[in-house]
Structure 1
Amino acid sequence: MARDYYEVLGVSRNASSDEVQQAYRRLARRYHPDINSDPEAEERFKEINEAYSVLSDPETRKRYDRFGPDFRSIPEGYEEWVGAGQGAGRGRGRAGVRVEEGFGGIDFEDLFGSLFGARGAAGPIPGADQEAELELTVEEAYHGGKRQITLPGPSGSRSFEVTIPRGVVEGQRIRVPGQGARGGGNLRAGDLYLVVRLAPHSRYRVSGRDIYVDLPVAPWEAALGATVALATPGGEVKVRVPPGSSSGRRLRLHGEGMPSPRGSPGDLYAEVRIAVPPKPTNRERELFEQLAAESTFDPRR
């Protein structure tokens, strides 16, 4: 059984959106697989992302508070449908219903059988919501934009255009109205929720809204300090490397991480990586030898 999302983030049920975001960022940094080598950290990180994707969206959080972990299996508009005379005063359908990924089917008898006793006894029912995964590059998630989606279905594949909000993160759901399961009679179809998955990137590592990137510097830049250019998903920025920086030093660029439409953007962390000339010239070798002879620094002490 899925853990309560409030429990996952360690916040109360009346926590503000800022408190939810602060709790998420604290836990995401603690359990990110790049930082935490514990074998269970990756699963914990996914659980934290899942909880945040639900509780950070006011409408989704409202449905979760009302229906619990199975809120995605309850068709949009179901409350109004019941209240309009289709079984008002009776309890909700039983939990445990699963909607298959993509355009898989849903057993409406299983969902509503305990409520009405038999299939069709209450007449047509609204279409259920469904889910599918959407893989994005870090750059696509950062900038957002239009995307053509093709998903398989029982009657053949369907294609449609979706708008990707700027700054979506791993586990976040993008709602596509009317692209879920078809409703009975003239009742409307459910919605499709696209679950964002970030593809592995050769340069960037994303943890929540924070972005981590290696910053290669020359030995003299690390020793003496320098201002160097760094490519980020948002464009090139200048990074000040303090004198005496060793490999692994993390430089924080406030607000340069993933943007957020409902709060503060994440930060970008540039991690110093000292790079040496792969084939030093004779003069470079001479200077390095001179430094080796003059310096008393021992990095192994």
Structure 2
Amino acid sequence: MDFKDYYKILGVEPTADDKAIKTAYRKLARKYHPDVSKERDAENKFKEANEAYEALSSPEKRAEYDELRKYGQHGRPFQGPPGWEGRAGGDFGQGGGDFSDFFSSIFGSAGRGTGNPFGRGQQRSAGRRGQDVEMELAIFLEETLANESKKISFRVPQYNGAGHRTGETTKTLNVKIPAGVTDGERIRLKGQGAPGVGGGANGDLYLIIRFAPHPLFDVEGHDLIITVPLAPWEAALGTKVAVPTLTGKIHLTIRPDSQSGQRLRVKGNGLVDKHGQRGDLFAQLKVVMPSHSDDTTRELWKALSEKAAFNPRSQWSS
């Protein structure tokens, strides 16, 4: 097992104070963070810097490391001081989390050791899980039918090895909208939240689905409702109407004597459910009067009223 010079990794002198160590770490973290760096081997360099800061940011751990450091033998396997056997009898093959075997041999696996080689009991806190991130994702109704990914960007908090927040970074993902999503549904993307601290697991990303308002359709579960305006004579005589759907137009037959408010069901033209089946489209009829009429038109309406002898409020009669 090779000795790790944490001061050299951070690029500071062994006499550096806490502020200099923190400044050096932040500079390296920004330079090599895997989400933003295009440097070769950035992830490993980021992990090394994180490990070095974890060891040197704590006065107790730094003192322990400094005592061991004087036995570091560059270019040869690290032997340690007389009587040194390492953690777990010198078995360094079970390093924990993102920390090296060297780190684990001093402070315990992933920094959670119950002791150290010099017999001074030291209790380490467990690695901390990263923060969950939640965002609303607006989608068009048409996107619920598409078998494509949607590109999203969101802000993720960043923390140093000591668990102190250092800022934020923008993360971009391509996500596939699952079939059957509903408005307000909460979708979990495991491990896509903030990174963990000290070997802890990443947090999760939660997407709250919001259907963008559609100019034509209302949503009821997995069914769609569209209002179909009709002229009075179309409702009376019947007609064929080209009705929009999410995937094109259909021709809907309106029977004679249709009523305003009546719903006509068009099977299989709604939204997709969890089983891949589509809901229905309901065409709700609405009789619409012309906004203006001339004297001739009004005379025709009067003649029609006399001929039809229809009282729409007849049910009110006692």
> What TM-score, normalized to structure 2?
0.50
Contact 1:128 1:182 in 2 (8 A): yes
Paired residues in the alignment total 183
Matched, 1:132 2:132: no
Partner residue in 1 for 2:46:
none
Q: Distance in 1 between matches of 2:213 and 2:156?
A: 28
Partner residue in 2 for 1:295:
308
Q: What is the CA deviation profile of residues 131-180 of structure 1, one whole-angstrom value per residue up to 9, with x for unaligned ones?
A: 32112233333446332322233314333332223552212234434321
Partner residue in 2 for 1:159:
172
Q: Distance in 2 between matches of 1:282 and 1:144?
A: 56
Matched, 1:179 2:192: yes
Partner residue in 2 for 1:150:
153
Larger C-alpha radius of gyration, 1 or 2? 2
Q: Which aligned pairs between 1:185-264 and structure 2 lie closer than 5 A? A: 185-186=198-199, 188-264=201-277
What runs of 5+ residues in structure 2 fail to find an aligned partner?
1-95, 97-122, 158-167
Does the residue aligned with 2:302 lie in a helix, a strand or coil?
Answer: helix
Equivalent AA in structure 1 for residue 139 of structure 2: L
Assess, with a 3 A threshold, how the Cα gap between structure 1 residues 128 and 300 changes in structure 2: closer, same or farther: same
Cα deviation, residue 194, structure 1? 0.7
* 247-256 vs 158-167, greater mean Cα deviation: 158-167
Assess, with a 3 A threshold, how the Cα gap between structure 1 residues 188 and 202 changes in structure 2: closer, same or farther: same
Q: Distance in 2 between matches of 1:247 and 1:268?
A: 17
Matched, 1:168 2:181: yes
Cα deviation, residue 263, structure 1? 4.5
Matched, 1:271 2:284: yes
Cα deviation, residue 230, structure 1? 0.8
Cα deviation, residue 249, structure 1? 0.8
Equivalent AA in structure 1 for residue 236 of structure 2: A
Contact 2:156 2:193 in 1 (8 A): no
Cα deviation, residue 281, structure 1? 6.3
Partner residue in 1 for 2:29:
none
Equivalent AA in structure 1 for residue 257 of structure 2: G
Contact 1:143 1:167 in 2 (8 A): no
Equivalent AA in structure 2 for residue 189 of structure 1: N
Does the residue aligned with 2:234 lie in a helix, a strand or coil?
Answer: helix
Identity in percent = 39
Equivalent AA in structure 2 for residue 296 of structure 1: A
Contact 1:141 1:169 in 2 (8 A): no
Assess, with a 3 A threshold, how the Cα gap between structure 1 residues 174 and 281 changes in structure 2: closer, same or farther: farther
Equivalent AA in structure 1 for residue 260 of structure 2: S
Does the residue aligned with 1:229 lie in a helix, a strand or coil?
Answer: strand
Contact 2:194 2:202 in 1 (8 A): yes
Cα deviation, residue 269, structure 1? 1.3
Assess, with a 3 A threshold, how the Cα gap between structure 1 residues 236 and 284 changes in structure 2: closer, same or farther: farther
Q: Distance in 2 between matches of 1:263 and 1:145?
A: 15
Assess, with a 3 A threshold, how the Cα gap between structure 1 residues 258 and 292 changes in structure 2: closer, same or farther: same
Contact 2:151 2:172 in 1 (8 A): yes
Assess, with a 3 A threshold, how the Cα gap between structure 1 residues 120 and 133 changes in structure 2: closer, same or farther: farther
Contact 1:162 1:176 in 2 (8 A): no
Q: What is the CA deviation profile of residues 26-73 of structure 1, one whole-angstrom value per residue up to 9, with x for unaligned ones?
A: xxxxxxxxxxxxxxxxxxxxxxxxxxxxxxxxxxxxxxxxxxxxxxxx
What runs of 5+ residues in structure 1 fail to find an aligned partner?
1-85, 87-118
Equivalent AA in structure 2 for residue 180 of structure 1: G
> What TM-score, normalized to structure 1?
0.52
